[in-house]
Amino acid sequence: MYMKENQENKMDKIVSLCKRRGFVFQGSEIYGGLKGTWDLGPLGVALNNNIKREWWKLFVDAREDMYGLDAAILMNAKVWEASGHTGAGFTDPITECTKCNHRFRADHLEDVTNCPDCGGLLGAIRNFNLMFETQVGAEGDTKSYLRPETAQGIFVNFKNVVDSMSPKMPFGIAQIGKAFRNEIAPREFLFRVREFEQMEIEYFVRESDWKAEFEKWRLELWDWFDHLGLARADMRELEVPENDLAHYSKRTIDFEYNYPGKGFDELAGFAYRTDHDLKSHMTASGTSLEYIEPDGTRFVPHVLEPSFGVGRALTAVLCAAYTEDEMNGEVRTYLKLPTHLAPYRVAVSPLLKNKPELVAKAREVFLTLKKEFGNVAWDDNGNVGKRYRRQDEIGTPYCIVIDFDTLGEEKPTAKDTVTVRHRDTGEQIRVNIAELRNYLI
């Protein structure tokens, strides 16, 4: 009898599925890997892009008050001096074993005296800056950094967006892009890595309006988590205590997901950054970053920041989708992905790949759907049952099989119909080829 998977090993199963089915690979694996780096395989890229595409549709394309941006990864070093990233505000406490020389984040250790790996004595705790420093120019004489967040690219382009787009207050600037942090001890799959992707918004408001706008955005973030297919029972809001707030924040909420075997951990953050960033860059650059109302009133806007990690969203989606059940007397593993996120919307197969007439018709259906939806798979490997299980495991919502009835050889009334099988239930129905597009939307 099928036994429901326990939460302790569920994450191990998900990581294994990611490798086996081409979602996520260890970075530089053939050379032994590089800690804190992961590569997205073919299906991982598709799922990742779908998450980003849906985010952009919801938070940018569907709104009238949002503007897109793609700022450079390398920026003038003065940007990071003004934002405070080069100082003590962007550091983690580090300690090193005097015996084995392994390094640890001191705030992640229960015992800061003895090494958890070899038992040796741990050295003094010191601050470790998380930014990757690099040199630019032919002589390498200009210092820069790989950006540790995408937000500052938005703040330094505030004036450019206002001057070119003339937005009305309130408005936001959205960006999706890579960020880099030299984590002391990267760990736990995609949770804590050195290279990651952010989906971030800086929403500019009048100071008097921040509380009302904060509440509007808080509810919209919940709509986003629903759209990802995350059960609300597995989500919670954590109000960050005042003594734990970042120096720029007056209020921050962490949205946490209950990851299997790990418990609740941050999925997204939502901060009220006041006018700290724009004022800091005004002072450092000497450039006015004020907003001018139609009546001539000038003020420095305050900022609300919804910030999302793409990798953590991808992991949460996989955790929510991973399902084990019993079908036809056998244990089945499948990803119950929402159709709008699944790497493939549908897979098309001929019943038998050694029958040219079935293959030809199946290719015709495949190419039609491919042109319409794009993310359509061709699968003629193994028997139909094995194809179903394979497509279930990668989350494909529908499988279409072209059989002899499609050709009208055995049932003339079924000519030009195909078998459509549903992933979640295994139900199979006949659908006319001409109606497939509408059926699959």
Domain final residue, candidates 319, 352, 376: 319
Q: What is the pLDDT of residues 96-105, one digit of tens each?
A: 999 999 999 9
Give the chain's mean pLDDT. Answer: 94
Q: Which residue in 50, 111, 123, 71 sits closest to 344, CA to CA?
A: 50
Counting residues of the chain whose pLDDT is more than 90, the rounded percentage is 85
| Counted domains in the chain | 2
Task: Let me know whether 223 and 301 are in one domain.
Answer: yes
Residues 311 and 408 in one domain: no
Compute the distance between CA of residue 399 and CA of residue 349 in angstroms, rounded to an integer.
8
- Residue that is written with structure tokens 């992991």 in the block: 315
Query: For position 166, what pLDDT does the model report?
Result: 97
Q: Residue 291: which domain range?
A: 7-73+156-319
One domain for residues 390 and 290: no
For residue 8, the model assigns a pLDDT of 62
Domain harbouring 307, CATH code: 3.30.930.10
Asked if residue 88 has pLDDT above 80, the reply is no
In this predicted model, what pLDDT tens digit does every residue of 336-393 receive, in sequence order?
Answer: 999 999 999 999 999 999 999 999 999 999 999 999 999 999 999 999 999 999 999 9
**Tokens read off for 6:** 């326990």
Within 8 A by CB and 6+ apart from 113, the residues are 121, 122
Per-residue pLDDT at 344: 98
pTM exceeds 0.85 = yes
Q: Which amino acid is at 111?
A: D
Does position 1 have pLDDT exceeding 60, yes or no?
no
pLDDT in tens, 209-261: 999 999 999 999 999 999 999 999 999 999 999 888 888 899 999 999 999 98
Q: Is residue 90 part of a domain?
A: no
Tens of pLDDT, residues 324-347: 999 888 899 999 999 999 999 999
